[in-house]
Structure 1
Amino acid sequence: MYVYLRKWCYAILCLLSPVLLSAQNGQKYLERALPQTWQENSDDFQQTLPVDDHWWSNFNDPLLDSLIAVAIKQNYSVQMAADRIAMAKANLRIQQGSYSPTLGLNAGWTRQQSSGNTTQLPQSVTQYTDASLNMNWEIDVFGSIRNRVKAQKENFAASKEEYNAVMVSLCAQVASAYINLRELQQELEVVNKNCESQLAVVKITEKRFETGLVSKLDVAQALSVYYDTKSSVPMLEAGIIQYTNSLGVLMGLYPWDVRKIIETQQPLPEYIEPVGVGIPANLLLRRPDIRSAERQVNAYAASLGASKSDWWPQIFVKGSVGFASHDIDKIANHNSLTYEIAPTLTWNFFQGTKLMQATRLAKAQLDESVRQFNETVLTSVQEVDNAMSAYKNSIKQIVALREVVNQGKETLTLSLDLYKQGLSPFQNVLDAQRSLLSYENALTQAKGNSLLSLIQLYQALGGGWSESNN
């Protein structure tokens, strides 16, 4: 028992110390140092802030702009995020209502008859009418209400940042799905062109076989390459449908409505330019997830301050004013006036371990939010560095693959010419056909991956999205 009382008294001294005031500010808990430079440092990136709005317009694709505009208006995740803002605002208004007194109106009429057989007094009938206005007001001396209002303000601000994060994610998802779809369409075009070229080679082998210059093996090998290339068409078409369906969900539309818009094939956007990445210490603080995590730290810090304020007394001012009279016609007479003023101090200084555990819970929640903030900062740095590295190296890959494709085309042309002259075996033509198809597909995929890396970079940089929310 003595040990328990000693721990309880020590907790009281700690909780009623000046730390009570400092705990209201969550900034003191954020000690994660933000980096001043990125790991990647090359001519591909500039130390300037990215465009604040509509980063996807850099791709110069009006259709992509339209798709994102529709998604912003109709996406259900965005609408739900807006609903959460409205709920957070309502919770803030509810908590702010604690600043105001509560008022109530009571009115009634009472008629009562007493028995004449239970006492020596004769039977009597009494009646009276009363009406009063009651007030109950908690005076926030120790900051309990103030801290809870501050916590709700931070939660409200965090909901706005979560909305911005949803917008950034949505725009990135639409752009990524669109790029993936265009990449598959371009791969399908590459396959179709190679099928035409390979079919022409099949006809050449058939003529040479008919004239007795080659065996039927050349025809069979040419056909096998042609049908192998043609067999990849169904999977590409299936992938196109899948990304079309994804765009439909993101835009809040049915797939067939989107299919009409994007069924026409278009080339992938060409984008190889320096990207503004900004200074990490300044740029990371504009990311919605980091701002939201910071708001959460402030909210839990305010909740900790409120839990510590609960250890102090509560001061109320109660009062009522009204009229009461036996005769209803005298209810407004000044002699019928009644009133009551009752200042009250309530101090539940001992509730077992309830207050102690509530404060420990608030402190644990604050510690968790601080660690979540630190992890969010580290993750954001990782995402930016990964995206920068992927984008920079994808540019190098594209440059190299363009040379490979050019050499592959020349190899096919030379091997086919030599085959027609009977100076080279048909196997060289087959190898050149397979290689060219592989090179062109690799180039197309590299272009798509480069654009996807750029989209991820913009998303990691905070998306460039800014919109005021009420």
Structure 2
Amino acid sequence: MRKIRRWGAWLLLIIPLALNAQQRTEKLLNVPLPEHWQEEDAMFQQQLPVDDHWWTVFQDATLDSLIHVAVRQNPSVLTALNRIDMAKANLRIARGGYYPALSLDARWNRQQTSGNTGTGQPQSRVGYYDATVNMSWQVDVFGSIRQRVKAQKENFAASREEYNATMVSLCAEVASAYFNLREAQQELSVLQRNALSQKAVVDITEVRYNTGLASKLDVAQAKSVYYSTLASIPATESGIIQYMNALAVLLGLYPQDVTAALETGKPLPDYIEPVGVGLPGQLLLRRPDVRVAERQVNAQAALLGASKTDWLPSFFLNGSFGYASHDMKDFTKRSSMTWSIAPSMSWTIFNGGQRANNVRLQRAQLDETINQFNITVLTAVQEVDNAMSSYKNSIKQIVACREMLNQGKEAFKLSLDLYKQGLSPFQNVLDAQRSLLSYENSLVQAQGYSLLCLIQMYQALGGGW
């Protein structure tokens, strides 16, 4: 059964080139792609998402500038560009096999023979000039060179897709780090705002204590809540610095180069909009990692074909053309011309099973790349489904957190008013204070998480570059 699957996979690689890319890709899959995503919701539209610059939907000029800098200076992007150059050089090296190899040999020789060797020949002195152009050309009768060139061409295309994958990942990482920073800055703002409110409550309890309307316990409890909030501020400020440093690395800069542009906090985008996700089949045409896996399959199939041609003979055409003469004045005369032409064939009959084992190796590597392709596609579908589910539920969480915050504000206001009137114990105020801070933080975190889910969705869809 395994053998049948292997040969079936090999036959899938030689389907007509007239088939489009999606059809060729789907034929490599062990299982058909689903017709629809697992998540069916009004938040998702059955159309392809925006191809370029998805981050502009957040309408944040700072984020646009950060991504613009990152794509020009990030070391990972520069490394991906270097890999493209290396793949292009390898392709040109392989294409060089189509052409003959030419070499030029030129020499001047002066020698003297002995007259005392017993041969009866007198001593003589001879000198001559010689210049020859040599040619050696392997005639690609059975396509060995052509198959290797094809493999390098697919590797070159794969390197370009890897560059695209790097760009998609980089844009998502920059956006994620940026919104993590803005979320931390919003959490700091929430802490500072609640600290001011809690300080006002401390002042109220002290006034009531000094007038004999409250106990010292109320003052101590109010201060414990206030100082607990103040104690949370340094850790949040430390997190802000760490996110700035992470952004600096992604931009290929030092932290001090980005601090001035990012130290002022900005609110998180209030983005709750439908997202175009397309269909699972369209995903194969968008994700760079899927296209890389397909190119690798094609390259390995070409190498398998090239290894099979090693069983066949190789044909060569060798020749030379030049001039040779004792005197330089006669060097370019017709009578000084030399030339030769020598077609040849080389056919390895036995080499210890190396060719057979090389074919087995290439076939096993082809099976591996096909399996890796299937894993890549299945992972891609899984990542999109996960991102869609996370984003949809994050929107529900934001709606619930907003209502929770509104009720928390109302509870704090009512409990404080009742406490001032002496109609409610101070414990209700303390509980309302703690809950209000927690509710505000929960809303900020829910908004940040929703943005990260949306970024992950765009990344999973392969959009953004």
Q: Return 5+ residue gaps in structure 2 as ranges.
A: 1-6, 18-23
Structure-2 separation of matches of 1:272 and 1:357:
58
Give structure 1 stretches of 5+ with no counterpart.
Answer: 1-14, 466-470
**Corresponding residue of 1:9:** none
Q: Tell me whether 1:450 sits opposite 2:450 in the alignment.
A: yes
2:221 corresponds to: 221
1:417 CA displacement: 1.0
Secondary structure of residue in 2 paired with 1:285: coil
Aligned-partner residue type, residue 174 of structure 1: V
- The answer to whether the 8 Å contact 2:171/2:464 transfers is no
Contact 1:24 1:302 in 2 (8 A): no
Match in the other structure for 1:387:
387
Shift of 1:114: 1.7
- Per the TM alignment, residue 23 of structure 1 is displaced from its structure 2 partner at its CA by 10
Q: Where do 4+ consecutive residues of structure 1 move more than 3 Å?
A: 21-29
Q: Secondary structure at the match of 1:103?
A: strand
Cα shift at 1:123: 2.2
Supply the distance in 2 between the matched residues of 1:346 and 1:28 (Cα, whole angstroms).
41
In structure 2, give the amino acid aligned to 1:154: E
Counterpart amino acid of residue 79 in structure 1: L
SS in structure 2 of the partner of residue 339 of structure 1: strand
Query: Partner of 2:52: helix, strand, or coil?
Result: coil
CA apart distance, 1:124 = 2.1
Query: Which residue matches 1:282?
Result: 282
- State the partner residue of 1:54: 53
1:122 Cα deviation (Å)?
Answer: 2.4
Match of 2:86 in 1: 87
Q: 1:31 aligns to what?
A: 29
Percent identity reads 66
**What do residues 220-241 of structure 1 show as CA deviations (whole Å, max 9, x unaligned)?**
0000000111111011111110
Aligned mates of 2:75, 2:14 — CA distance in 1: 41
Distance 1:325 1:369, change over 3 A: same
Alpha-carbon distance, 1:256 to partner: 1.1
8 Å Cα contact 1:23/1:301 also seen in 2: no
Pair 29,321 (structure 1): closer, same or farther in 2 beyond 3 Å: farther
CA contact (8 A) 1:322 1:338 kept: yes
In structure 2, the CA distance between the partners of 1:28 and 1:92, relative to structure 1 (3 Å rule), is: farther
Tell me the equivalent position of 2:117. 118
2:106 matched residue in structure 1: 107
Distance change (3 Å), C-alpha of 1:29 and 1:86: same
Q: Where do residues 270-309 of structure 1 align in structure 2 (5 Å cutoff)?
A: 270-309=270-309
- Residues 384-424 of structure 1 show CA distances to partners (whole Å, capped at 9, x for unaligned) of 01100000000001001101000001111111111111111
Kept after mapping to 1: 8 A contact 2:25/2:284? no
After superposition, what is the alpha-carbon deviation per residue over 1:119-141, rounded to whole angstroms, capped at 9, x for unaligned? 32222222221111111001101
Cα distance in 2 between the residues matched to 1:22 and 1:449: 46
Q: Structure 1 residues 351 and 440 mapped into 2: Cα distance closer, same or farther (>3 Å)?
A: same
Q: Which moved more, 1:419-428 or 1:24-33?
A: 24-33
| Contact kept? 1:287, 1:462, Cα under 8 Å | yes
| Alignment check: 8 A CA contact 1:394 1:450 kept | yes
Is contact 1:50-1:464 (8 Å) kept?
no
Q: Does 1:438 align with 2:438?
A: yes
User: What does residue 4 of structure 1 align with?
Assistant: none
2:308 partner amino acid: K
2:70 maps to 71
Counterpart in the other structure of 1:147? 147
Q: CA deviation at 1:29?
A: 7.2
SS in structure 2 of the partner of residue 53 of structure 1: coil
| Contact 1:195 1:226 survives alignment (8 Å) | yes
Separation in structure 1 between the aligned mates of residue 91 and residue 408 of structure 2, nearest angstrom: 66
Alpha-carbon separation, structure 2, partners of 1:328 and 1:262: 78
Q: Within 2, Cα distance between the matches of 1:216 and 1:114?
A: 124
Conservation of the 8 A alpha-carbon contact between 2:106 and 2:132: yes
Q: Does the CA-based 8 Å contact 1:284-1:462 persist in structure 2? A: no
Equivalent in the alignment of 2:374: 374
Amino acid at match of 1:63: T
Q: Distance in 2 between matches of 1:29 and 1:366?
A: 15
Aligned to 2:21: none
- Is contact 1:397–1:446 with CA below 8 Å preserved after alignment? yes
Amino acid at match of 1:301: A
> How far did 1:35 drift?
2.4
CA separation of 1:24/1:115 partners in 2, compared to 1, >3 Å: closer, same or farther? farther
Tell me which residue corresponds to 1:178. 178
The answer to whether the aligner puts 1:311 opposite 2:330 as a matched pair is no
- The alignment yields a C-alpha RMSD, in angstroms, of 1.8
Instruction: Tell me if structure 2 keeps the 8 A contact 1:24–1:305.
Output: no
> Kindly tell me: are residues 27 and 333 of structure 1, through their superposed partners in 2, closer, same or farther at Cα, counting changes over 3 Å?
farther
C-alpha contact (below 8 Å) 1:23/1:304 kept by paired residues: no
Task: Quote the offset at 1:118 in angstroms.
Answer: 2.4
Structure 2 distance, partners of 1:271, 1:330, is 88
8 Å CA contact 2:307, 2:355 repeated in 1: yes
Q: When the two structures are superposed, what TM-score results if normalisation uses the length of structure 1? A: 0.93
Decide which moves more: 311-320 or 123-132: 123-132
The residue identity in structure 1 corresponding to 2:251 is M
Does the 8 Å CA contact 2:290/2:373 hold for their aligned counterparts? yes
TM-score, normalised to structure 2, is 0.93
Distance 2:351 2:237 in 1: 68
Is residue 136 of structure 2 the alignment partner of residue 136 of structure 1? yes
Q: Measure how far apart 1:86 and its partner are.
A: 0.9
- Between the aligned partners of 1:114 and 1:359, the Cα distance in structure 2 is 56
In structure 2, how many angstroms separate the alpha carbons of the residues matched to 1:231 and 1:89?
57
Question: What is the match of residue 3 of structure 1?
Answer: none
Counterparts in 2 of 1:446 and 1:350: CA distance versus 1, 3 Å: same
1:232 aligned counterpart, secondary structure: helix
Alpha-carbon offset, residue 34 of structure 1: 2.5
Letter of the structure 2 residue corresponding to residue 178 of structure 1: Y
Q: Which amino acid aligns with 2:440?
A: E
Name the SS for the 2:344 alignment partner: strand
Q: In structure 1, what residue type is equivalent to 2:271?
A: Y
Check conservation: 1:29, 1:370, Cα contact below 8 A.
no
What is the rounded CA distance, in whole Å, between the counterparts of 1:118 and 1:250 in structure 2? Answer: 82
Distance of aligned partners of 1:312 and 1:22 in 2 relative to their CA distance in 1, 3 Å threshold: farther
Name the aligned partner's letter for residue 228 of structure 1.
Answer: S
1:328 Cα offset (Å): 2.3
Structure 1 distance, partners of 2:338, 2:14, is: 45
Q: Secondary structure at the match of 1:231?
A: helix
